[in-house]
Structure 1
Amino acid sequence: MSDILWPAGFVPGFTDNFCSNEVIVTGLTVEEVWPFLNIPTRWPTYYANSADIRFHDNKGPELEAGVRFYFSTFGFPVEARVVEHVPPVKGQPARVAWHGWAGEPGTDSRLDVHHAWLIEELSGGRLRILTQETQCGVPAQALAKAQPNPMINGHQDWLNGLVDAARQATLA
């Protein structure tokens, strides 16, 4: 199975917080799931922890390499820039990742994240959806200690909602 490509400064184990969530399902393809992830304005329709999505520089509605966008999640207003974007191509995993940030640089409120997604077909008609996020900053240190873990639980909700939304669309 494939893994996430980590940029310098965001490698798990060397950051203040890390979370990893994954599902493996049948009955869906990468092409059926991709639009629900790649079009952020769809996120709030299946993931209640996302809101206020907007694009910068007259871009959107789809993510693409280098595009800047904004959304709110986990109580943070997040500015983000897509740093990896590989749409579905037969025989390779689809990938999207962004660097997100909140707060002023150099302050205790600053949070920097690398949030990555990987969608790949597996043998036997299975589909794997992996999302991982690393975080740096004082807010990340607090999130890492929180019980239950809001990042693990929130990202699992996102995955479950993504799968459910794609399944509903295939039935329509």
Structure 2
Amino acid sequence: MQSIHWPEGYVPGFSDNFASNEVIVAGLSVADVWPLLDDTTHWPTYYSNASEIRFHDGNGPRLVLDARFRFTTFGFPVEAEVTEHVPPAPGQAARVAWHGWVEGDAASRLDVHHAWLLEDLPGGRVRILTQETQNGAPAKQLASTRPNPMINGHQDWLDGMVAAARATRSSKGGVQ
């Protein structure tokens, strides 16, 4: 299976917090799921923890390499820049990643690398992996919170994405 490409300073185990969530489901493909991630107007329709999404410089709502955007998640106003954007293609995994940050002093600054990997698997299955590393005092606090809000929040994102993809496929007469 494919894995996430980590930039220096954000490698899991060397950051202040790390969250990893993955689902593998039958009856869907990357083609079903990709539009729900790539077009940010869909995010709030299936994930209640993403709101106030705005793009800089007239870009958006689709993600593209180097696009700058802002959104609110986990109560943080996150500025972000897309650092990896590989749309689906036969024989390769689709990938999206962004560097996100919350401005502030040493007590409130947060830097993250949030990455996604979507790949078709044998037997009509799709794998959706999302991982995030974080650095800064808020990341340290999140890492010690139980239950872990990052793990639970990202699982909600994956579950919502799968449900939305199934609903869209069903409305188009696709197989469930």
The one-character-per-residue Cα deviations of 1:38-62 (angstroms, maximum 9, x if unpaired) are: 1112101000111000100000110
Secondary structure of residue in 2 paired with 1:2:
coil
Amino acid of the residue matched to residue 32 of structure 1? D
CA RMSD of aligned residues (A): 0.7
C-alpha deviation, 1:126, in angstroms: 1.2
What one-letter code is carried by the residue in structure 2 that aligns with 1:76?
A: F
Percent identity over paired residues: 65
**2: CA distance, partners of 1:9 / 1:144:** 17
Q: Give the match for residue 66 of structure 2.
A: 66
User: SS at 2:120's partner residue?
Assistant: strand
Find the counterpart in structure 1 of residue 152 from structure 2.
153
Question: What amino acid maps onto 1:57 in structure 2?
Answer: D
State TM-score, norm by structure 1: 0.98
2:143 aligns to what? 144
Q: Tell me the residue number matched to 2:33.
A: 33
Q: What is the Cα deviation at residue 107 of structure 1? A: 2.4
1:18 matches 2:26:
no
Give the gaps of 5 or more residues in structure 2. 172-176
Secondary structure at the counterpart of residue 10 of structure 1: coil
Give deviations 1:62-97, integer Å, cap 9, x for gaps: 000000001000010000000000000011000000
Q: Which runs of 5+ in 1 are unaligned?
A: none
Q: CA deviation at 1:103?
A: 2.0
Secondary structure at 2:69's aligned position in 1? strand
Partner of 2:174: none
**Displaced runs of 4+ in structure 1, greater than 2 A?**
none
Separation (CA, whole Å) in 2 of partners of 1:38 and 1:21: 18
Match of 1:115 in 2: 114
Tell me the distance in 1 between the aligned counterparts of 2:40 and 2:99. Answer: 15
The separation in 2 between residues aligned to 1:64 and 1:71, in whole angstroms, is: 16
Distance in structure 1 (CA, Å) of the matches to 2:34 and 2:158: 12
Structure 2 residue identity aligned to 1:28: L
Q: How many aligned positions are there? A: 171
Which residue of 2 is the match for residue 8 of structure 1? 8
Amino acid at match of 1:66: D
